[in-house]
Structure 1
Amino acid sequence: MTSAIPLPEGVSEEGLLRLDRQICFSLHAASRAFNGVYRVVLKELGITYPQYLVMLVLWEQGELPVKKLGEYLRLDSGTLSPLLKRLEAAGLVRRERSARDERSVEVRLTEEGTALRERALAVPRRIFSATAFDVDEIHDLRDRLDRLTAALDEAALQDPTTH
């Protein structure tokens, strides 16, 4: 089955299956490289990259239901629950059943979790420095990735095999 989309110039049908032509692999490799840098930078804070993402949302949004936190992070409860359990064991967050809805669990920062924010202020600068990009390149890349994410989300919604 061939697509109506033309091949890029100089690329054969067989060339389409080369690893170095896959945008998904470029994104995967960049993600793994980011994780390596974050691992070093976040070690000083005593948290992992996924835990850092949870903390970023909580520092920004405050107390949230687990479900809403998962929506922000694009994580299902099976992935998010162990993260929250480790953050709770570290004394950074507290999980409690909602008084308004017993089915819902609320996540809030502890004093230690709130205090960690001050130490985390250096993280974005260190990551920015590691990219060797200037500010405009960072903004452009993030905007392009946001557009890519939106387009892929829309494509997934349009695909009847994903429902």
Structure 2
Amino acid sequence: MRTTTPISASALLLDRQLCFALYSSSLAMTKLYKPLLAELDLTYPQYLVMLVLWERDGLTVSELGERLYLDSGTLTPLLKRLELAELLTRQRDSADERRVHVRLTAAGQQLKSRAEKIPFCVMQASQCSLQEITGLTRQIQKLRNSLIQPV
């Protein structure tokens, strides 16, 4: 016979839910980024792609997807729009046509210098110190990694 622990009514209050704190914080963060990224003519998901490529150019679409936790069905339209904006190129691997390499164009590389102010703007808006931001980021990454690990 399986016993269950009863859940108190207060455990179901919205403001006690970790998922809601993360969700509403994500919405607030995306809202903060919107005007900052408008100056770069990027959406938030496009910005994430650019961050990865500024870190390591020449990745395959699947490597980008792994890094961003996105499937190719979500990633491909993003890449197409960035390619139309002439920020990157996509090229099939000559040895394996299933692999597509993504590389920044000169314009994509130059955009990085315009984006360098964004982390500082976010830190200012958060009213957190660099140490607090770093610690919070590590905690959230630890949570994410725990949640995606098979049990």
CA shift at 1:2, angstroms?
Answer: 2.3
Q: Which amino acid aligns with 1:144?
A: Q
**What is the CA–CA distance in structure 2 between the aligned matches of 1:43 and 1:131, rounded to whole Å?**
20
TM-score (norm 1): 0.87
Alignment of 1:6-155 (within 5 A): 13-154=8-149
CA offsets 1:98-142 (integer angstroms, 9 cap, x no match): 112111111110111011011111111111111110111111101
Matches of 2:4 and 2:134 in 1, distance apart?
Answer: 36
Query: RMSD of the TM alignment (CA)?
Result: 1.4
Q: TM-score, normalised by structure 2?
A: 0.94
Q: Distance in 1 between matches of 2:115 and 2:130?
A: 20
Tell me how far apart the structure 2 counterparts of residues 25 and 142 of structure 1 sit (CA, whole Å): 17
Could you tell me how far apart the structure 1 residues matched to 2:15 and 2:90 are?
44
Q: Which runs of 5+ in 2 are unaligned?
A: none
Structure 1 stretches of 4+ with a deviation exceeding 3 A read none
Where structure 1 has 5 or more consecutive residues not aligned to the other structure, the ranges are: 159-163
Counterpart AA for 1:2: T
d(CA) in 1 for partners of 2:51, 2:101: 16
Listed one character per residue, the Cα deviations across residues 18-55 of structure 1 (whole Å, up to 9, x for unaligned) are: 21111011000000000001001111000011101100
What amino acid sits opposite 1:19 in the alignment?
L
